[in-house]
C-alpha cells in the first residue's frame, strides 16, 4: 500500500509516555486515567468525562445509563457506523432509521418528528465526518417531546457549534480514539456529561458495576469490563497536547484536496465551511455526482487500489446490512441515504499526508473517473 486510507500521528513523546507507564508497573485504573479524563473534560468544556475502552462501549453505556431498554425506540440515521445501532440492540432497544440531509450527511431534523411514536425515548445524533449536526433544531424537538439526546461525536472531537464543542450539547456525548481518528489512544473512548449522577453510574458500569463506595469484590450494578488502560491514557494525554495543531493540519489537507478537485465535474466535494460551525476533519469523502450514473464507485475504488491507493466506502447504510435488513426495516423511505451511500468514496486522509501524495491520489482518481 503506497498511500493508506488513514495512519496515526505518533511522535517520540507518545512512545516515551507509554514506555514510562510500562516501567511504572501501574497499568490500569491509575493516575493517567484521571489525568486523561480531566484533560478531555477541560478541552471540551464538559463537567464530567469517563474514559472507556472504545466509542462503542461508550455508546452502550449511554444507552444503559439513560435507562433505554427492551422495546424502547431510538431515532438515528442509517448512514453512520454500525456501532450506533448495535449499542441499542445490546439493550434490546429498537433503532428507528431516518433519512439524512444531502448537504451535511447528518440526520435530517425534518425527518425526526415524523418518526416519533409513543415508544420513542431518545434521538441518537452522529456528527458525520466531523461536520456538526443541526443540534439547535434537534434539541428543540427533543425538549418538546420529552426525549433524551445522545451525541455520537466519535468522528468529531474539536468540532463546534457557535463556539461550543459538539458532544457537550445533548444529555450525554461519546468520543472515540481509534487509530483513524483525529487523535488516538489506539483503542478507547470517552463519555461526557453535565450530569454528575449519570457520570458516576457510567464509571461504575465500565468497571464491572463497582461504585466508588464498593470494595474490589463488591458490585452494586451489573456492569462490564469497559476500562481504559493507563497505556491508552498516556498515549491520549500526549495526543491531546497537540490537538489544535493536529486539527489545523487536517484542515490544511482538506484544503489541498479541494484545490486539486474543485474543477472535477464528476465528483461533489464535502462542504469546507458550515455557518456558525467549526468542522473537525475526520475524513475527506467525495461523492460521484448523481448525473454520472454510469460511473461505478466500487470499480473506481478497485482501480485506485491497483495503484496502491486505499479508499473507503463510507458508509454502507445500516438498514441494508445483513444483520439489520430483515429485522429492522426503516419506518420511512431512506431515498437520500441510499442514493448517497452508493456514491461516496473516502480518500486517504491523515496528518502526515504530503502534498505530493495528495496530488497522486487526485490525479489517479480523475484518471479512473475518465
Which residues are known catalytic residues?
181
Q: Which residues contact 132 (CB under 8 A, 6 or more apart)?
A: 106, 156, 159, 160, 161, 166, 274, 277, 278, 279
- End-to-end CA gap in the chain: 23
Q: Nearest to residue 259, comparing CAs of 131, 349, 367, 362?
A: 362
Residue with cell 457510567: 202
CA distance 167 to 184: 17
Q: Cell digits for 228?
A: 481504559
Are 141 and 147 in contact by the 8 Å Cβ rule? The answer is yes
Amino acid at each position: 500500500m503506497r498511500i493508506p486510507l488513514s495512519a496515526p500521528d505518533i511522535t517520540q513523546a507518545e512512545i516515551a509516555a507509554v514506555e514510562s507507564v510500562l516501567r511504572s508497573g501501574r497499568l490500569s485504573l491509575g493516575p493517567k486515567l484521571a489525568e486523561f479524563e480531566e484533560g478531555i473534560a477541560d478541552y471540551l468544556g464538559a463537567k464530567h468525562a469517563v474514559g472507556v475502552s472504545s466509542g462503542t462501549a461508550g455508546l452502550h453505556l449511554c444507552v444503559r445509563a439513560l435507562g433505554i431498554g427492551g422495546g424502547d425506540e431510538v431515532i438515528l440515521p442509517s448512514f453512520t457506523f454500525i456501532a450506533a445501532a448495535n449499542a441499542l440492540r445490546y439493550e434490546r432497544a429498537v433503532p428507528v432509521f431516518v433519512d439524512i440531509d444531502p448537504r451535511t450527511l447528518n440526520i435530517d431534523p425534518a425527518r425526526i418528528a415524523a418518526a416519533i411514536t409513543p415508544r420513542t425515548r431518545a434521538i441518537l445524533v452522529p456528527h458525520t465526518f466531523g461536520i456538526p449536526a443541526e443540534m439547535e433544531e434537534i434539541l428543540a424537538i427533543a425538549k418538546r417531546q420529552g426525549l433524551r439526546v445522545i451525541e455520537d461525536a466519535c468522528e468529531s472531537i474539536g468540532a463546534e457549534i457557535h463556539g461550543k464543542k459538539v458532544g457537550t450539547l445533548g444529555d450525554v456525548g461519546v468520543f472515540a480514539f481509534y487509530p483513524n481518528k483525529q487523535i488516538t489512544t489506539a483503542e478507547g473512548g470517552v463519555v461526557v456529561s453535565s450530569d454528575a449522577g449519570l457520570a458516576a453510574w457510567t464509571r461504575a458500569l465500565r468497571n464491572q458495576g463497582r461504585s466508588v463506595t464498593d470494595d474490589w469484590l463488591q458490585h452494586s450494578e451489573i456492569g462490564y469490563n469497559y476500562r481504559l488502560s493507563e497505556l491508552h491514557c498516556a498515549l491520549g494525554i500526549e495526543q491531546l497536547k497537540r490537538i489544535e495543531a493536529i486539527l489545523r493540519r487536517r484542515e490544511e489537507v482538506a484544503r489541498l484536496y479541494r484545490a486539486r478537485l474543485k474543477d472535477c465535474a464528476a465528483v461533489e466535494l464535502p462542504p469546507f465551511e458550515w455557518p456558525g460551525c467549526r468542522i473537525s476533519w475526520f475524513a475527506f469523502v467525495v461523492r460521484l455526482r448523481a448525473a454520472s450514473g454510469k460511473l461505478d464507485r466500487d470499480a473506481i475504488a478497485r482501480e485506485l487500489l491497483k495503484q496502491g491507493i486505499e479508499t473507503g466506502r463510507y458508509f454502507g447504510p445500516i438498514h441494508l446490512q445483513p444483520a439489520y435488513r430483515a429485522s429492522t426495516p426503516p419506518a420511512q423511505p431512506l431515498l437520500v441515504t441510499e442514493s448517497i451511500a452508493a456514491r461516496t468514496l473516502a480518500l486517504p486522509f491523515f496528518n502526515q499526508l504530503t502534498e505530493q501524495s495528495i496530488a497522486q491520489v487526485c490525479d489517479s482518481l480523475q484518471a479512473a473517473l475518465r
